[in-house]
């Protein structure tokens, strides 16, 4: 063939193969396998837009549902004292205005599919949440803080930044929540309560009533499996190759919590149950294989977003990732630091005589949970 020259080899050299040939072939094959597993998938802007569109709609539906079951917290009320975030207390009419802005923004996230309208709706929702937080610190619920961060990012960032930032926010929630439970107080308080409820649901309470060494060990160390499992889910979701197992683990964890905290368990509020249900669907849309991954590079269809706004959104996410690490130092609130169901909360037990407790009951104050402890005294727990 013209243009190609081959060196002539002797028969002995032609038949002889280099000793390093199998090693080279194996190395090339291993490199190809690693490349196939570690390289990002081909960029598909349509898949990214599809995934983000579904996630924003889910965010709108989930936030509206949680606002509906906790509506007393977001409207003017006198059950709890109002604790403004700043020294000035906004007027009550601002509560109605801000909650109306939040609802309009969340409805816009559900209805609108075009990016400009979606960004406007997310900005309204984030602004309304900010006004609500300024008026009363009790509204800084973990789910509300998560939705506020996501709404702010959706209003500023492109699709790729929204998707990646949302994933890392969920992973950080699992990690910080698990780390806040890795202490002895959790095993003797909330962790013991959850594990005992599990024994009751599985009809294992009679077997654990006998004070044997095995029963004592299980009662002592079983609560540690809860934060360890949560931390394992965060690690599995962090690695792309193990993300599928992390998704399954998160489903198992949240469905288990729905059983433990639901009507047949500890009968917690609907807000707690809805937030766990939200995570089931959210994680499927974030980490599920049904949606094609957009990779780690910038899609061309998202470059119309202003780079300055994109940088602001990434700055918001970085603060959301780092700030909870300051919770052990007292520089971050427990709920903002994702220390949910953690033990080191301030707990006060107030002992009242029966006459004083009766006067509190007649006042109609339902904020105090009462349980009779000892003759003539009521133990009122404020948590």
Q: By percentage, how much of the chain surpasses pLDDT 70?
A: 67
Q: What is the DSSP letter of 84?
A: -
Cα-based angle 269, 272, 277 (whole degrees, multiple of 5): 125
pLDDT reported for residue 345: 57
pLDDT reported for residue 104: 98
Q: What is the pLDDT of residues 23-70, one digit of tens each?
A: 343 334 333 333 333 444 445 778 888 999 999 999 999 999 999 999
369's enclosing H/E stretch is strand 369-372
Assess if residue 76 is contained within a domain.
Answer: yes
Residue 236 has pLDDT above 70, yes or no: yes
Averaged pLDDT for residues 273-280? 96
Region label for 349, one of left (φ > 0), alpha (ψ between -120 and 50) or beta (otherwise): beta
Q: By percentage, how much of the chain surpasses pLDDT 90?
A: 43
Q: Which domain holds residue 210?
A: 45-329
206 and 352 in a single domain? The answer is: no
Mean pLDDT of the chain: 77
pLDDT reported for residue 245: 96
pLDDT reported for residue 306: 65
Q: How many structural domains is the chain composed of?
A: 2
Averaged pLDDT for residues 184-211? 63
100 and 136 in a single domain? The answer is: yes
Give the pairing of strands 348-353 and 369-372: unpaired
Residue 278 has pLDDT above 50, yes or no: yes
DSSP string, 287-341: H-TTSPP--SS--GGGTTS-HHHHHHHHHHHHHHHHGGGGGGGTSS-TTTTT-TT
Q: What is the pLDDT of residues 203-229, one digit of tens each?
A: 554 555 555 566 556 666 777 888 899
Assess if residue 6 is contained within a domain.
Answer: no
Total-model pTM: 0.75
Give the pairing of strands 377-382 and 348-353: antiparallel
Annotate 257-275 with b (16+ C-beta within 10 A) or e (fewer).
bbebbbeebeeeeebbbbb
366 and 256 in a single domain? The answer is: no
For tokens 């005294």, name the residue.
377
Judge whether 314 and 308 are in contact, CB under 8 Å: no
287 and 353 in a single domain? The answer is: no
Return the higher-pLDDT residue of 188 and 19.
188
When pLDDT is cut at 50, 70 and 90, the band that residue 265 belongs to is confident
Return the higher-pLDDT residue of 7 and 84.
84
Q: What is the DSSP letter of 85?
A: S
123 and 194 in a single domain? The answer is: yes
Q: How far apart are CA 258 and CA 277, in angstroms?
A: 8
268 and 375 in a single domain? The answer is: no
pLDDT reported for residue 170: 98
Tell me, rounded to whole angstroms, the distance of Cα 25 from its chain centroid. Answer: 45
369 and 305 in a single domain? The answer is: no
Assess if residue 37 is contained within a domain.
Answer: no
Residue 110 has pLDDT above 90, yes or no: yes
229 and 368 in a single domain? The answer is: no
pLDDT reported for residue 172: 97
Q: How far apart are CA 111 and CA 153, in angstroms?
A: 18
363 and 324 in a single domain? The answer is: no
What is the end-to-end Cα distance of the chain in Å, rounded? Answer: 87
139 and 210 in a single domain? The answer is: yes
Assess if residue 36 is contained within a domain.
Answer: no
Q: What is the pLDDT of residues 339-351, one digit of tens each?
A: 888 756 555 556 7
Residue 13 has pLDDT above 70, yes or no: no
154 and 298 in a single domain? The answer is: yes
Assess if residue 183 is contained within a domain.
Answer: yes
Return the higher-pLDDT residue of 262 and 241.
241
- Ranges 6-15, 79-88, 354-363: which has the least confidence: 6-15
Judge whether 106 and 63 are in contact, CB under 8 Å: yes
pLDDT reported for residue 350: 66
Distances (CA, A) of 322 to 137, 175, 331: 21, 12, 11
> Which residues, other chains included, contact 279 with Cβ-Cβ below 8 Å and sequence gap of 6+?
170, 250, 254
Assess if residue 338 is contained within a domain.
Answer: no
Q: What is the largest CA-CA distance in the chain?
A: 111
Assess if residue 1 is contained within a domain.
Answer: no
285 and 357 in a single domain? The answer is: no
Q: What is the pLDDT of residues 291-314, one digit of tens each?
A: 544 444 444 444 455 688 899 999
Judge whether 48 and 159 are in contact, CB under 8 Å: yes
């Amino acid at each position: 063939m013209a243009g190609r020259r081959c060196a002539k080899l002797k028969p002995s050299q032609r038949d002889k193969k280099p000793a390093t040939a199998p090693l080279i072939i194996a190395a090339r094959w291993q490199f190809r396998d690693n490349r196939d597993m570690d390289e990002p998938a081909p960029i598909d802007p349509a898949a990214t837009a599809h995934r983000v569109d579904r996630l924003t709609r889910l965010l709108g539906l989930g936030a509206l549902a949680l606002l509906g079951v906790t509506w007393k917290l977001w409207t003017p009320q006198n059950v709890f004292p109002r604790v403004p975030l700043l020294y000035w207390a906004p007027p009550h009419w601002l509560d109605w205005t801000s909650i109306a802005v939040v609802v309009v923004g969340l409805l816009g996230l559900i209805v609108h599919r075009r990016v400009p309208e979606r960004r406007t709706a997310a900005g309204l929702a984030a602004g309304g949440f900010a006004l609500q937080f300024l008026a009363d610190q009790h509204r800084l619920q973990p789910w509300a803080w998560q939705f506020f961060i996501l709404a702010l990012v959706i209003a500023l960032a492109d699709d790729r930044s929204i998707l990646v930032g949302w994933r890392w926010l969920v992973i950080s929630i699992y990690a910080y929540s698990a780390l806040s439970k890795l202490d002895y107080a959790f095993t003797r308080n909330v962790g013991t309560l959850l594990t005992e409820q599990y024994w009751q649901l599985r009809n294992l309470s009679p077997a654990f009533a006998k004070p044997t060494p095995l029963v004592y060990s299980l009662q002592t160390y079983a609560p540690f499996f809860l934060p360890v499992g949560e931390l394992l889910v965060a690690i599995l979701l962090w690695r792309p190759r193990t993300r599928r197992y992390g998704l399954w683990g998160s489903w198992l964890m949240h469905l288990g919590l729905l059983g433990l905290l639901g009507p047949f368990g500890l009968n917690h509020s609907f807000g707690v149950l809805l937030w766990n249900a939200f995570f089931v669907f959210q994680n499927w849309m974030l980490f599920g294989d049904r949606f094609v991954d957009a990779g780690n590079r910038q899609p061309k269809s998202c470059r119309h977003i202003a780079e300055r706004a994109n940088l602001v959104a990434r700055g918001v996410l970085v603060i959301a990732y780092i700030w909870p690490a300051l919770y052990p130092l007292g520089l971050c609130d427990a709920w903002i630091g994702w220390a949910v169901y953690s033990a080191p909360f301030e707990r006060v037990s107030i002992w009242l005589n029966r006459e004083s407790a009766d006067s509190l009951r007649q006042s109609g104050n339902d904020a105090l949970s009462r349980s009779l402890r000892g003759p003539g005294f009521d133990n009122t727990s404020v948590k």
